[in-house]
Amino acid sequence: MHDNAPIYKSIIAQEAVHDCCFVQLDHPAYSPDLTPSDYFLSRNLKSHLRGVRYPDDEVLKEVVKEWAGRIDRRFLF
């Protein structure tokens, strides 16, 4: 699956897809897969994490889970 970027639409890329017998799944460049709530969450999560370094992925996952537990649930529904 790709987003119709020029690099994926080039002749060389299309031939490679065909030669490997891959099935190409297209979707629009501005995909509706992200809802407005996704944008809200991404922006606020980035703001929450900005400027902090975490020692490993596990600590980061815990911080994100804790943050997600505190967001206003009314916004999500």
Task: Give the position of tokens 């060389």.
Answer: 12
On the question of pLDDT at 59 being above 70, the answer is yes
Q: Where in the chain are the domains?
A: 1-31, 34-77
Range with lowest mean pLDDT among 13-17, 24-28, 65-69: 24-28
In this prediction, residue 28 carries a pLDDT of 60
Q: Hey, how many other C-beta atoms are within 10 angstroms of the C-beta on 44? A: 13
Cα separation, 5 vs 68, whole angstroms:
33
To the question of pTM greater than 0.75 for the whole model, the response is no
Cα separation, 3 vs 24, whole angstroms:
11
On the question of pLDDT at 2 being above 90, the answer is no
Phi-psi region of 59 (alpha: psi -120 to 50; beta: other; left: phi over 0): alpha
Find the mean pLDDT for residues 50-65: 92
Task: Give the position of tokens 């629009």.
Answer: 28
